[in-house]
Amino acid sequence: MKWVFKEIGYQARYALPLWLVQLLTNWLPENRITIRIRGALAAPFIGKYGKNFTLSKGVYLESVHNIQIGNDVYIAPYAWINGLGGVLIEDEVKISPYVVIDTCIHNFKDNSVKKGGSLVAPIKIGRGSWIASHAVIKAGVTIGSGVIIAGNAAVVKDVPDNVMVGGVPAKIIGPRKNKDESKVVYGRFLHNKPSSKATSHKYDCNE
Catalytic residues: 106
Phi, psi for residue 164 in degrees, rounded to 5: -110, 130
CA angle 40/44/46 to nearest 5° reads: 105
